[in-house]
Amino acid sequence: MIVPMSAYIVLSIVLLGLGMLGVMRRRNPLLLLLSIELMLNAGNILLIGFSRQWNDPAGQIFALVVMVVAAAEVVIGLGLVVAVFRSRMNLDVDEMSSMKG
Amino acid sequence: MQTTLAWIVLVLPLLGGITLVAWPGEPPRAATRLIGIGSILIAFALAVTIFVSLLMNAPDDRTFTSGLYEWISIGGTSLDLSILVDPLSVMMMLIITGVGFLIHLFSAEYMQNDRDYRRFFAEMNLFVFSMLLLVLAGNFFFLIVGWGFVGLASYLLIGFWYERPAAVAAAKKAFVMNVIGDAGLVLGVLLILRQLGTLDYQQAFANADQLGANSGTALAVCLLLFVGAAAKSAQIPLHTWLPDAMEGPTPVSALIHAATMVTAGVYLIVRCHALFQMSELAGQIIAVIGAATLLMAATVALQQVDIKRVLAWSTVSQIGYMIMAAGLGAYSAAMFHLLMHAFFKACLFLAAGIVIHALHDEQSLNKMGGLKKYLRVAYFGMGMGCLAIAGFPGFDAFFSKDDILATSLAAGPVGVACWIIGVVGAFLTALYMFRLLFRAFFGPEPTGGYAHAPHPSKWWMAVPVIILGVLSFVGGWIQVPFGWTGISDWLAPVLADVQHPLEATNAQVWLTIGFSTAAALGGIALAWWLFAADPQRRIRLAAVARGPREVMREAYLFDEAYDDVFIEPGRELGTVLLDEVEPKGPQGLITGTAAVIRDTARVVSASENGFVRSYAFAMIAGLAVAGVILAIVVAGVA
């Protein structure tokens, strides 16, 4: 079965939109991180879809690179979340505004 | 050989001063004395060696220059760290180190009870070094350096007792007045550099005629240099700092404000005579200022009751003689009087120092009287000094002042006017000096006794006074009219390029001797009649000419006039600027700029609310806007 290219694009747009909404609406940093992952993977799906479309493996390699970067980012993000949780016992990004102008 | 020794003479006092300053902790007094006095003594011995070796050379082989290295070379003009050893600078060197040594010796005892013994000797050595640099400099640049350094040393030593507000104020006043002179000197030297293209003495003097005889440029150069000379040598209108400078310790007054530094202006004019004879008018202006100063200061000295202030005004007056002579072109006479003045004025100041020391810092003549039976050495020194300064026949100023006056008579109508003022000044000099002598050492003891029982001085203080007292008598015999001419012969190589040397005729010399001797004896006699013959007469005559005498006591109100003309308007201008202009002008500009930045920042910083979600929203909104623009551009291109 051949998945049409439009399906990849629609899925990607839906995932990106969900991720954006999540980043803007959620207050829990864990869910924020999840939403960012969602947006990254929306990009990955597009990369892989077009890679298949044009028969060019570069897109798949990019997707692998993005996954590695995303993993590293999650490590740092979770580390920050744990550190904040330890010092404040509270996980709400709106409370973390001590650097405001 | 001579220049090497001169370099050592120059450096020794500096080394002494640096050693004293760098000594860890407080050096023992004996070591301080040894370093402070020893360095000057060795310098004096070397200066004498240079003098003797120059004497053994032929007169036209007594000028040496030595450049240590080329300091600056720019635009075809080079500036060497160089010294000039010639009869004039050696003469000054002998005065500075010789009289300086005696005064250092005197200070060892005089300052014995002061806690800042080390600082005193370090600053005195700094002064001797600076003064040597001033006279040994081989170009105008190092003259200015030495000129500035002596001003600094003078400032430090006038303000030596810095706990006294009067001393600090006097030091500041002296410094400000001297900086006015420094500015004139620097401008004059820059004009020389511009016109003659060199700062080297010998090149500049050899090319002096490029200034143009009696041209405006020559006049400007001479008058600017004279501004420097007038400030340093306390001539009208820059003289008011010198009497106040008496706030310094007495040895400082003797060394800096009598014997050496204040005569630097005379030295400058004699050194630069090649320039000064380019402008006849400048010479006449200088002579008139010198004459006016000598007469003004002599009358002020008559009315002072502070023993040191009498001597200070007398110094102003005597330098007036020298400046007058230098302006008229009687250079060797000016230097002769400079040398004699160094002897007798140092002697007078040190004798006054013994009195002040013995009476525990009492300086008022009203608290003295009858001291001659307690203070024999001071009486001897003061007596010899008074006879010398008054021009009593056979003593120092009899020869040197008569040399100035006789030569003035040969200098045309201005010279004759100066001669008349000089003879009147000689009469006043005798009067005010013997007033001092009679009121301090003769007559009854003051009612209520002395402030402190006078005690005789130790030999440290006595020996310099005795040596200088003897020199006040025999010093003048170096140059005797119709006899021999020691000073003129010695300075002849330096003054060889004087175009119209002044020579007094025999009649002029006899006329001068007659009048000045009469003036001196008349002044002494009047002083005897007023102050010694009958101690009550002074009190009975107190009401005579009270108004004019009050003006003289206040030194013709120069200080008050300067207060009204310069200081008060300056202060008012400052108040206006502070209260009116500054808050609106610069202050408004600064606070206005700050307010604009602050308000802008308040608006902009509202976006920095610290909410991560709103930042994310901004990013996404920005992305959307960028996407829309991209779409429009792409659609437009397509």
- Domain membership flag for residue A55: yes
Nearest-CA distance B602 → chain A (Å): 9
Say whether pLDDT at B545 is over 90. no
Name A78's Cβ contacts closer than 8 Å, sequence gap at least 6: A33
Say whether pLDDT at A99 is over 70. no
pLDDT tier at B210, thresholds 50, 70, 90 = confident
Nearest-CA distance B638 → chain A (Å): 23
* Percent of chain B whose predicted confidence (pLDDT) is above 70: 100
Specify the pLDDT at position A100.
67
- Domain membership flag for residue A59: yes
Assigned token pair, B195: 């016109």
- Domain membership flag for residue A1: no
- Domain membership flag for residue A43: yes
The CA R_g of chain A, rounded to the nearest whole Å, is 17
Say whether pLDDT at B224 is over 90. yes
Average pLDDT over residues B251-255: 92
Average pLDDT over residues B505-531: 92
Say whether pLDDT at B61 is over 90. no
Look at B72-81, B196-205, B433-442, B583-592 and tell me which has the smallest mean pLDDT.
Answer: B72-81
pLDDT tier at B368, thresholds 50, 70, 90 = confident
- Chain B residue with minimum CA distance to A20: B620
Average pLDDT over residues B112-126: 91
- Domain membership flag for residue A12: no
**Are the Cβ atoms of A100 and B612 closer than 8 angstroms?**
no
Nearest-CA distance B615 → chain A (Å): 9
- Domain membership flag for residue A4: no
Name B430's Cβ contacts closer than 8 Å, sequence gap at least 6: B390, B391, B519, B520, B521, B522, B523, B524, B527
CA distance B25 to B37: 20
Q: Give me the count of residues in chain B.
A: 638
Say whether pLDDT at A96 is over 80. no
Whether the Cβ atoms of residue A23 and residue A36 lie closer than 8 Å to each other = yes
Assigned token pair, B335: 């230097």
Average pLDDT over residues A6-30: 90
Specify the pLDDT at position B25.
83
Average pLDDT over residues A61-72: 94
Say whether pLDDT at B609 is over 80. no
Say whether pLDDT at A1 is over 70. no
Q: Does B602 touch chain A (CB under 8 A)?
A: no
**Are the Cβ atoms of B608 and A23 closer than 8 angstroms?**
no
| C-alpha dihedral (B172, B175, B178, B183), degrees to nearest 10 | -110
Average pLDDT over residues B409-416: 89
Look at A62-71, B42-51, B369-378, B604-613 and tell me which has the smallest mean pLDDT.
Answer: B604-613
Q: In sequence order, what DSSP letters do the residues of B103-123 get, joined into one string?
A: HHHHHHHHTTT-TTHHHHHHH
- Domain membership flag for residue A14: no
Provide the residue range defining the domain that includes A81: 29-88
Assigned token pair, B242: 């010198």
CA distance A95 to A88: 10
CA distance B342 to B487: 15
* Percent of chain B whose predicted confidence (pLDDT) is above 90: 58
Q: In sequence order, what DSSP letters do the residues of B395-459 get, joined into one string?
A: SHHHHHHHHHHHHHHTSHHHHHHHHHHHHHHHHHHHHHHHHHHHHHHSSPPPTT--SS---PPPH
The CA distances from residue B541 to B536, B545, B553, in Å, are 9, 9, 16
**Are the Cβ atoms of B616 and A24 closer than 8 angstroms?**
yes
CA distance B562 to B555: 12
CA A36: distance to chain centroid? Answer: 3
Assigned token pair, B362: 């009492």
Closest residue by Cα to residue B499 from B310, B273, B186, B288: B273
Closest residue by Cα to residue B96 from B264, B324, B348: B264
**Are the Cβ atoms of A99 and B610 closer than 8 angstroms?**
yes
Specify the pLDDT at position A101.
56
- Interface A-B: count of C-beta contacts within 8 A: 36
User: What's the domain count of chain A?
Assistant: 1
**Are the Cβ atoms of B609 and A101 closer than 8 angstroms?**
yes
Specify the pLDDT at position B466.
93
Chain A residues 21-40 with a CB less than 8 Å from chain B = 23-27, 32
* Average pLDDT along chain B: 90
CA B40: distance to chain centroid? Answer: 20
